[in-house]
Amino acid sequence: MSDALEALAETAGLVWRFHDGAGQWREAPDDSIRAVLAALGLAAETDSDAADTLRSLSEARQRRILPEWMVVRADEAPALEIATHGAVEWRLECADGSLREGRAEGRLEPGYLPLGRHRLFVGDNVTTLLAAPDRLPEPPRGWGVTLPLYGLRPEAGGGLGTYRDLGRAAGALGGLGAGFLGINPVHAGFPNDPLNYSPYAPSSRRHLNVMHIETGQEGASDESELIEYPEAFARRGKALNDAYALYLASPADPAFDAWRSARGEELERFAIHQALSDVHGAYWTDWPQEYRDRDAAAVREFAAANDERVRFHAWLQWRAETQLADAQRAAHGAGMHYGLYLDLAVGAHPSGAETWADPEHFARGVSLGAPPDAFSADGQVWGVAPLSPLALAQSGFAVLADTLREQFRFSGLLRIDHILGFDRAFWCPEGLPGLYVMMPKRAMLAVARIEAARAGASIVGEDLGNIPDGLRADLDASGILGCRVAVFEREWQGDRGFRNSSTYDPQTLASFASHDLPTWRGWRKGLDIDWRARIGHMDGEAAERERHARHDDVEAFGRTIENHEGCVDALHAFLGRSASRLVALQAEDILGLEEQANLPGTVFEHPNWRRRLPVPASAFSSDERFARAADIMRQSGR
């Protein structure tokens, strides 16, 4: 590697030499480094290009009076040291829209800064002042249930669980004493591609999945064990169009028009994207060239010519928001402390609405992923576009703040998927080994605290995998809960025995597993191993080794929970006794199900995101299994 390329990579925050999740030393090749730099908008195709880019970056940094962003304490008046020769004019655009101006030399005092993101202009410099609380309040001890929204049996017809079904589940579980109800991400998906239904590769994280809107016009509910998405999408899509026709035939509703106006340009862009998708297909990268640029004249002409279809897609978001908000009200009305526990996916699909509407915020030609580890020898490529750390800083972290704010509108507890990406993100160039890109961690955590504090909510960060040094301490300092997944909580440096839950860090949420792992019964039987052997992900010899190891793990876990019979009550009591502030019980475990929701590394080989729960939401409150789990939580003091 040339000196210029290495210096540019270091300046840009690339980490190409690292230990992977299995402890093996890795070093990404020069081609990977050049590809990631290109994705950041930094020219480095040749060593001369790299030297020129490095020089430009260095000169730009030398011209700065203040850093691009600064974290300050909310509700205080900071004093900022500025490197200037003589007095300078400054202007502060406050988060509430107010404006302050002044003149400073050596020391700039913008005055009291309330909670929020404020933009400070000094000469040609722009600095984002992130006025955040030092730490979020500690949540009280409690418990809740996680379940798949898509897998709730639709009680008003159709093939997918609805936001109304979610409200029914929240009311039932709240009545049993649960403090939250967690679900898979409900971000906007791809209605025009019914085979792209993974909740973790959404079209847009700032809008909702309209396939969960309840219409009551779909006829009988589908009672089969597995969801057939093409049929389910077709039925719900027709019902939504019919519901809109009825809406248009009814007296004018000023509430929708007022809501649409308040949501502004961002909603309009999304609605235009959806209308274009109806005509040209789900993925904007396959559209005719004239429609790929959101600001193109052809896009404006299309929107004007298809105004009613654009309005329809805005109306769908209104209906989705209304029903999800109703579900949150039902949760609070049933006594839930947090209500809904939503899940923020780590990224957006590279050809979805979010990257079309805000292309400047995303890196192109790379995907988020994870390096090899003990569970995935080849690493993982997730197929989602990463946010550019350079664009984040330049925009004042607006896209991150807006995305978080959208989740907090409907939840009191938010899970941030793979929060390791707040520290460093693993970028995978197409066809090349991946490497890490450092993210503005301190700023991103401050933005998270700002938005959670504004909403009076709490955050759980999924801190699993190849954890960067110091990240868990930073999460704890921010008041963000980590995850303690019992199946992973072991004495890895000792006898590899399972840890007693009483030793878990208090500032965490404890669970047995997750949507990417086997259920309690499935884990004990080794069904995940059987699946991987069946689809060819491991040979017979490797599968047999894994089965022997799983047998030993089951025995070891049985000793830890003092029960070798596979009794789920013993598991729940073990979780209830944990030092963790929050405990999440999986509906699949409560109901004694064996198959897991998702098998990582598969798309169609395993029926991911297709399994239905056997009990409708309205029956949870009378189901003896839910009642027993709730009683165990009460006995544990939750």
Backbone angles phi, psi at 44, to 5 degrees: -155, 30
Which residues 6+ apart lie within 8 Å of 373 measured at CB? 20, 21, 22, 379, 465, 466
Q: State how far the Cα of 446 lies from the Cα of 242, in Å rounded to an integer.
A: 44
Structure confidence at residue 252 (pLDDT)? 85
Cβ neighbours around 554 below 10 Å, total: 15
Instruction: Out of 77-86, 338-347, 624-633, pick the least confident.
Output: 77-86
Q: In whole angstroms, how far apart are CA 403 and each of 4, 174, 204, 544?
A: 37, 27, 9, 45
630 class by beta-carbon count within 10 Å (0-12 exposed, 13-18 middle, 19+ buried): buried
Q: Please state the rounded mean pLDDT for residues 458-465.
A: 95
Q: Please state the rounded mean pLDDT for residues 588-609.
A: 96
Looking from the CA of 292 toward its CB, the CA atoms found within 13 Å total 9
Backbone angles phi, psi at 99, to 5 degrees: -125, 135
Rg for the chain, CA atoms, rounded: 25
Residue 588 in this model has a pLDDT that exceeds 80 = yes
Which band of pLDDT confidence, cut at 50, 70 and 90, is reported for residue 1? confident
More confident call, 223 vs 290: 290
Q: State how far the Cα of 434 lies from the Cα of 262, in Å rounded to an integer.
A: 42
The tens digit of pLDDT for each residue in 491-512 reads: 978 788 999 999 999 999 999 9
Residue 273 in this model has a pLDDT that exceeds 90 = yes
The tens digit of pLDDT for each residue in 57-93 reads: 999 998 888 999 999 999 999 999 987 778 899 999 9
**Coil/strand/helix, residue 130:** strand
Residue 286 in this model has a pLDDT that exceeds 80 = yes
Q: State how far the Cα of 64 lies from the Cα of 55, in Å rounded to an integer.
A: 15
Q: State how far the Cα of 506 lies from the Cα of 554, in Å rounded to an integer.
A: 25
Which residue, among 474, 486, 478, 544, has the nearest Cα to 517 in the 3D structure?
A: 486
Q: Please state the rounded mean pLDDT for residues 472-478.
A: 97
Which residues 6+ apart lie within 8 Å of 304 measured at CB? none
Residue 375 in this model has a pLDDT that exceeds 70 = no
The tens digit of pLDDT for each residue in 553-564 reads: 999 999 999 999
The tens digit of pLDDT for each residue in 191-215 reads: 999 999 999 999 999 999 999 999 9
Which residues 6+ apart lie within 8 Å of 301 measured at CB? none
What tokens appear for 224 in the block? 């089969």
Torsional sign, CA 284, 602, 535, 430: positive
Residue 567 in this model has a pLDDT that exceeds 90 = yes
**Coil/strand/helix, residue 27:** strand
Strands 14-15 and 435-438: antiparallel
Which band of pLDDT confidence, cut at 50, 70 and 90, is reported for residue 601? confident
H-helix segments, 479-537: 520-525, 527-534
The amino acid at residue 229 is Y
Check if CATH label 3.20.20.80 holds for domain 142-230+308-358+389-419+440-635: yes
Q: State how far the Cα of 315 lies from the Cα of 244, in Å rounded to an integer.
A: 8
Structure confidence at residue 257 (pLDDT)? 95
Q: State how far the Cα of 208 lies from the Cα of 227, in Å rounded to an integer.
A: 20
Residue with tokens 């000169």: 59
DSSP one-letter string for 91-126? EEE-TTS-EEEEEEBSEE----B-SEEEEEEETTEE
108 class by beta-carbon count within 10 Å (0-12 exposed, 13-18 middle, 19+ buried): buried
Element containing residue 208 per DSSP (H, E): strand 204-208
Average pLDDT, the chain: 96
Cβ atoms of 377 and 387 closer than 8 Å: no
H-helix segments, 456-561: 471-478, 520-525, 527-534, 540-561
Instruction: Out of 9-13, 48-52, 222-226, 374-378, pick the least confident.
Output: 374-378
Which sequence spans correspond to the domains of the chain? Answer: 3-62, 69-132, 142-230+308-358+389-419+440-635
Which segments of 397-537 are extended strands (E)?
A: 413-416, 424-429, 435-438, 458-461, 482-485, 508-511
Cβ atoms of 129 and 78 closer than 8 Å: yes
What tokens appear for 265 in the block? 């340009």
Residue 374 in this model has a pLDDT that exceeds 80 = no
Which residues 6+ apart lie within 8 Å of 521 measured at CB? 566, 568, 589, 592, 593, 594
What tokens appear for 21 in the block? 């999740």
Q: State how far the Cα of 578 lies from the Cα of 572, in Å rounded to an integer.
A: 10
Q: What is the DSSP letter of 595?
A: S
Q: Please state the rounded mean pLDDT for residues 357-386.
A: 89
What tokens appear for 303 in the block? 């929107």
Which residue, among 76, 196, 186, has the nearest Cα to 129 in the 3D structure?
A: 76
Angle of the 254-280 helix axis to the 297-305 helix axis, nearest 10: 120
Phi-psi region of 580 (alpha: psi -120 to 50; beta: other; left: phi over 0): beta
